[in-house]
Chains A and B, each alone.
Chain A
Amino acid sequence: MPWNCKKLCFLWLIMAALSGLITGVQAHPHVWVKAQSEVLFNSEGAVSGLRHHWQFDVAYSSYAVQGLPTDKQGHISSQTLAPLAEENTTSLVEFDYFSRVRIDGKAQAFGKPFDYTMSYENGFLTLHFTLPLKNPTKLNRSTVFELYDPTYFVAFTFVEGVKAVQVSGGPNGCLVNLTRPKTDIPAGQSLSENVFQSLSAQSGFNTQFTNRALIACP
């Protein structure tokens, strides 16, 4: 028993203790998605669904497109990506498409997604799909749309700016109020002091990872 290196052992113990439980069940996000969504209204003025545009981070994009044929410039056609788009979209059902919609406080159910495609641009893979509500519903007061992965394997964040969630086909004058998760780590951040800055800013004990859009229409 190497008791002779007590200090080393102690330091070792501190590091090990820092890593938590023996069966630590907590992990961290492995995939980051920049999300942009549209809240769709039908001709009767009822909320009919969502249209999602999810841009994956560069590491996951590389993983997802491996083995697929590219042209000389490294582009991958949407036709080539079609099976991947279908596979990804249809497998989302068990996770409720990471989306939650409440109209006037009532939770809404989703139908089957359609119009799904994937595009690959500059190393980023983006998934586009339409997610209909099972029953289009008119809103009296407000609609709340939430986007998050409860397992936190994927870290969703609305893109910057007010256009992150838009109303499509709805009445004029709808107001959209956006809330993004507090732990937003910018993608592709290069080496700089920002790393250490973000380290201290990041150490929030309360991590909220829900993106929320509150839509109120006249």
Chain B
Amino acid sequence: MPISPLSKPHALLQRLLVMALALLGIGVLLYGAMTLLGADSAPQPSGRHPFGTGITESGGASHGLLGLISDWQSLFSRQITATLKEITHNPQATVWLLVLSFVYGVVHAAGPGHGKAVIAAYILASERALQRGLIMAVAAALLQALVAILLVTILAVVLRVTSSSMTLMANHIERLSFFAVTAVGLALLWKKSGHFLALLPAQKNDTAHGVTPSHSHSHSHSHAHAGDDACCHNHAPMADDSASMRDMGMAVFAAGIRPCSGAILVLVFALSQKMLPLGIIAALVMAAGTALTTGGLATMAVLAKNMALKWGGGIDTPQSALLLRGIEILAAALVSLLGLTLLITAP
């Protein structure tokens, strides 16, 4: 793509501006949505919670739909510990444990830290088929369970550390996940801003080749083909699959590396009752429930996107291409904002 030497810094600024606007826009949207759903806006104290397990999951809702979900989650998580105890003298309770763990995984995924945003946004923003999204949801949930299992097994069983060491370790892993989420979000946002900008000159005049620097690898390849009729068959498969596998892997890593606090507590408790294998199974079943919710959300996201496109007048119009890129940019901005917020507010 021919790029004039003078336009390069200008293009960079344009791109950064688009990114900033997207972040601002999604921030405003999120705030409105949260207020409607009953999220508490009371200021939260900073610093690590003294009775935490290193994973920050705080902010109970006091009213609204989220308050209801909160109550249910509490109920299920306490039942899980009670059931583990019951199994010592009533092995049939194992079935109930599995049911509880599954439902807990489903409902608990509503809380922070279960990779919903990253995976849903990634799928939304990257034209991957829905199947990929579902695979990613399962992989991320599985990774979460594995991290919790490994954390407890290595630290508690092998190294026999105290709770403060485990809390510290979990905290480090959590911080790593926040970096990963931010990195995935910003990389996606960067890419998508480029796509968005590439479309704009095509709307105004006939030269479809925008002044965006060809930063994205495979995307720019498919763009060059579709550029002239400015429709960009965006559902074309990636030209370069290895890069996309790496991207998917990063997204799964970002979504899944942060273990769930509830799973850690259940695992440690199971260990204390000399039932660690059962605890491990419970954690995996929880992951199944989480995968269901996250996958469901990814499905919703893709369906919403397709619906929006249909309303926009079908896939093959310039407007829909713009709309598509707009949605994708907002999705990427969402993940970026999420990651940044987590990084900034993490104790």
Give me the interface of A with B, judged by CB distance under 8 Å: 1-2, 9, 12-13, 15-32, 56-60, 62-68, 84, 87-88, 91-92, 94-96, 123, 150-155, 183, 185, 187-191, 195, 198-199, 202-209
| Interface of chain B: mostly helix, strand, loop or mixed | helix
Q: Name which residue of chain B comes closest to A95, CB basis.
A: B45
CA distance A203 to B293 in the complex (A): 21
Query: Which bucket holds chain B's interface residue count?
Result: 35 or more
CA distance A68 to B46 in the complex (A): 29
Q: Determine whether the beta carbon of B296 is less than 8 Å from that of A16.
A: yes
Q: Which 9 A-B pairs have the closest CB atoms?
A: A152-B60, A16-B296, A151-B58, A19-B110, A28-B73, A62-B272, A67-B162, A94-B47, A91-B50
Interface string of B97-130 (1 = CB under 8 A from A): 0000000001111111000110011000000011
CA distance A208 to B77 in the complex (A): 19
Q: Determine whether the beta carbon of B299 is less than 8 Å from that of A13.
A: yes
For the complex formed, measure the closest distance between the CB of A109 and the CB atoms of chain B, giving whole angstroms: 16
CA distance A67 to B155 in the complex (A): 9
Q: Determine whether the beta carbon of B299 is less than 8 Å from that of A27.
A: no
Q: Name which residue of chain A comes closest to B92, CB basis.
A: A191
B65 within 8 A of A: yes
The 17 sampled A-B contact pairs (Cβ below 8 Å) are: A2-B130, A20-B69, A21-B33, A21-B34, A22-B116, A23-B30, A27-B58, A30-B77, A67-B156, A68-B162, A88-B50, A151-B44, A152-B60, A191-B82, A206-B63, A207-B60, A207-B67
The contact of A19 among B59, B271, B297, by CB within 8 Å, is B297
Interface string of B282-326 (1 = CB under 8 A from A): 000000000011011101111100000000000000000000000
B269 within 8 A of A: yes
Q: Determine whether the beta carbon of A63 is less than 8 Å from that of B60.
A: no
Q: Determine whether the beta carbon of B75 is less than 8 Å from that of A202.
A: yes
CA distance A49 to B191 in the complex (A): 58
